[in-house]
């Protein structure tokens, strides 16, 4: 069973390059592999050697704007096995739009959305044909697909060779993928407000760029060392308003029945799961608001709290600790709305719940 993220990159990858003619060229590449059954019999050292070969891209330069200054962007999306044996991507067009905006936000040529979607489909389809994809397991339904497996697709940009300060004018875009399971470790759902700053007005907080993840990673690791699952960021100016989790958007259900989440701006990443949850909540008749949410309001008026993202899906927060004070939500258990949203989201992704909004795209 796949556990979180691994470097077991699947054999088929996709590489595109923005050339001197200002046009994108593209190709699918098949990396070294054996059959899944044969690879399962390899020793750990042999598996590692094979995975290293698949994770090697000698055509990409080591010294460039991306490796030296974090001037690159990436996306994350999943393809889900269905009961009928097919596989479907969840809202890849939205990921494509965001990656295009992110690349342009770094003053790089944007990657066309239609090419993005076809690349995602092509990578998943080719790997599935080789047998490198999970098959639907009805036992996943017992925990509402929390432990279910999927294919995680990681598109990213990578600049041309460079060492001085500058922006990429002729980038690569690469799609790699790996099989994944649950993201957060079970048993701990505590959140800790960090004193670190994730983003500030006028910065790149709205861009899904490499550099934005340095501070969140440091904050999350520090929180984990103190016994928490997640680090929670406040705004840079007043240090009073919720912003995000370490790699996820955050929601709070208030005592008055309103589901609130911080409004989008140049410090908040426009999450696709975030957008989806807002729609699902509205479908359920829940009032939603996108606005400033103070940490005080969340801790005093919140009855449920959760974070959302491609990797996390929806993961409830049992408590928030801020300046030594802890606010506990729903007796440390997942709340009714959180569970309904999770069950509906996962149900749509794995084909158990009707896809009323046309979010699921077959890879075939």
305-322 residue pLDDT tens: 999 998 878 999 999 999
User: Within 13 Å and on the Cβ side, how many CA atoms surround 296?
Assistant: 3
Its sign, for the CA torsion 130, 131, 132, 135, is positive
pLDDT digits (tens, 9 = 90+) for 217-274: 999 999 999 999 999 999 999 999 999 999 899 999 999 999 999 999 999 999 999 9
Tokens 């339904």: give the residue.
141
Q: In what order do the strands lie in the sheet with 242-245?
A: 242-245, 230-234, 190-193, 319-322, 325-328
* Residue 253 burial (CB count, 10 A): 24
pLDDT digits (tens, 9 = 90+) for 321-346: 999 999 999 999 999 999 999 999 99
Specify the CATH number for 190-349; select among 3.40.50.720, 3.20.20.140, 1.10.10.10, 3.20.10.10: 3.20.10.10
Q: Is 208 known to be catalytic?
A: yes
Q: Of 139-153, 171-185, 307-321, 331-345, where does mean pLDDT reach its minimum?
A: 171-185
Q: Locate CATH 3.20.10.10 in the chain.
A: 190-349
pLDDT digits (tens, 9 = 90+) for 116-126: 999 999 999 99
pLDDT at 350: 97
Q: Locate CATH 3.30.470.10 in the chain.
A: 12-180
What mean pLDDT is reported for the chain? Answer: 95
pLDDT at 2: 43
**Is residue 183 pLDDT above 60, yes or no?**
no
Catalytic-labelled residue, pool 208, 220, 346, 352: 208
Q: What pTM value is reported for the model?
A: 0.94
pLDDT at 6: 63
Taking a C-beta distance cutoff of 8 angstroms, is the pair 72, 66 a contact?
Answer: yes
Taking a C-beta distance cutoff of 8 angstroms, is the pair 218, 346 a contact?
Answer: no
**Is residue 35 pLDDT above 90, yes or no?**
yes
Task: Say which CATH topology domain 12-180 has.
Answer: D-amino Acid Aminotransferase; Chain A, domain 1 (3.30.470)
Taking a C-beta distance cutoff of 8 angstroms, is the pair 158, 171 a contact?
Answer: yes
**Is residue 182 pLDDT above 80, yes or no?**
no
């Amino acid at each position: 069973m796949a556990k979180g993220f691994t470097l077991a990159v699947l054999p088929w990858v996709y590489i595109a390059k923005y050339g001197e003619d200002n046009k994108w060229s593209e190709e699918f590449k098949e990396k070294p592999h054996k059959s899944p059954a044969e690879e399962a019999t390899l020793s750990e050292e042999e598996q590692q050697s094979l995975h290293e070969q698949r994770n090697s891209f000698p055509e990409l330069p080591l010294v460039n704007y991306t490796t030296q200054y974090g001037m690159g962007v990436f996306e994350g999306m999943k393809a889900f096995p269905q009961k009928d044996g097919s596989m479907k991507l969840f809202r890849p067009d939205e990921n494509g739009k965001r990656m295009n905006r992110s690349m342009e936000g770094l003053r790089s040529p944007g990657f066309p959305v239609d090419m993005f979607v076809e690349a995602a489909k092509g990578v998943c389809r080719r790997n599935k044909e080789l047998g490198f994809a999970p098959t639907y397991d009805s036992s996943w339904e017992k925990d509402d697909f929390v432990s279910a497996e999927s294919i995680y697709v990681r598109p990213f940009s990578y600049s041309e060779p460079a060492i001085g300060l500058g922006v990429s004018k002729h980038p690569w875009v690469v799609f790699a993928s790996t099989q994944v399971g649950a993201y957060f470790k079970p048993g701990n759902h505590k959140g800790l407000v960090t004193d670190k700053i994730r983003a500030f007005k006028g910065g790149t907080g709205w861009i899904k760029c490499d550099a934005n993840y340095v501070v969140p990673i440091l904050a999350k690791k520090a929180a984990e060392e103190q016994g928490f699952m997640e680090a929670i960021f406040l705004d840079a100016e007043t240090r009073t308003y919720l912003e995000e989790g370490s790699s996820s958007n955050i929601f709070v259900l208030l005592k008055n029945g309103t589901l609130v989440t911080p409004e989008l701006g140049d410090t908040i990443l426009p999450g696709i799961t975030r957008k989806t949850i807002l729609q699902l909540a509205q479908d359920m008749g829940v009032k939603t608001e996108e606005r400033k949410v103070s940490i005080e309001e969340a801790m005093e008026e919140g009855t449920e709290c959760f974070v959302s993202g491609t990797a996390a899906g929806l993961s409830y927060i049992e408590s928030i600790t801020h300046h030594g004070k802890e606010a506990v939500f729903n007796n440390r258990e997942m709340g009714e709305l959180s569970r309904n949203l999770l069950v509906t989201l996962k149900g749509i992704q794995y084909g158990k719940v009707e896809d009323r909004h046309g979010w699921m795209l077959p890879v075939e």
